Amino acid sequence: MKEIFSRRKALKQMAMGTVAMGAAGTLTSIADNKNESYHKLKGNIHHSVCQWTFDFLPLDVLCQIVKKIGFGAIDLIAPKDWSTLQKYDIYCSMCYTSGKVSLTNGFNDKKNHDQLIKDYLEVIPFIKENGYKNLICFSGSRRGMDDETGLKNCEEGLKKILLLAEKNNVNLHMELLNSKVDHKDYMCDKTAWGVELVNRIGSPNFKLLYDIYHMQIDEGDVIRTITENHQYIGHYHTGGVPGRHIIDETQELYYPAIMKAILETGFQGHVAQEFVPTGKTNEEKIAQLKKAVSICDI
């Protein structure tokens, strides 16, 4: 995958506090366009969108677009930007810590524990104070580490956080990412590994973020995996395979059936769009978000 499409690049940009503000006036006019009709969502699925995939829009404008499409949540927002969401009554459906976010340096390596534990303990009460519930975490890369050592290290580090998470009703979600295409060497790349970690930790406040795009690449068998492991999953991300493009008929997954399977498990959390729009103009890219939400709105 090209670097411009990588979540890793977006995380680095977020850490540096860079947000593209060019052509803000034009984009605001897109958000304010009252001539375009948007259908009313059914309310069965709690929709969200990952901010990094639409980072060509100022966050203020993305909030307006989200409200116009008819849902009310954005994923993967750090505390510094929560006030912007709150200005538009948009919910942060998956939070970052205030510290540097890394997919490669995670809980599977003890040398990362001191800084990670500090960052998570600092942000958890702040998440509760702002009315949010979900906080993302990552296993990190293997770097030659075996599965068992990684499980033990993750369990040790996360248990030092979860007592405070339980006290504040905050849920930690470890994301499943593919190690075949996008995040080579990432440890939490199989549902079974993640489920084992959830069982070892044994807290109702620790679950998996099941990224449908990533798990289709590394495992496939998406619907059966979701059906058999739904009790371990607290959040979902979407994306078209191949290429993490829009989730329509141009790719190999049929999202209405996947959404139906998720709904039938009794899931009450959020499903966040995490595809990279491919339209030539901002208007076309926004239309793709509207289309993707419609596809998932069963």
Tokens of 182: 């996008």
Q: Give the tens place of pLDDT for each residue, 96-152.
A: 999 888 999 999 999 999 999 999 999 999 999 999 999 999 999 999 999 999 999
Q: What angle in degrees, to the nearest 10, is found between the helix axes of 24-32 and 282-296?
A: 40
Q: Give the span between the Cα atoms of 43 and 49, in whole angstroms.
A: 16
Tokens of 93: 């459906």
Exposed, middle or buried by CB within 10 Å (0-12, 13-18, 19+), for 284?
exposed
Confirm whether pTM is higher than 0.95: no
Tokens of 216: 């289709």
Q: Give the span between the Cα atoms of 197 and 219, in whole angstroms.
A: 18
Domain ranges in the chain are: 41-296
Helix (H, G, I), strand (E, B) or coil at 210: strand
Residue 91: which residues within 8 A CB-CB, separation 6 or more? 48, 72, 73, 74, 85, 131, 132
% pLDDT > 70, the chain:
87
Answer for the pair 235, 274: CB distance below 8 angstroms, yes or no.
no
What is the average per-residue pLDDT within 151-171? 98
What is the average per-residue pLDDT within 234-245? 97
CATH class, 41-296 region: alpha beta
Tokens of 36: 């375009």
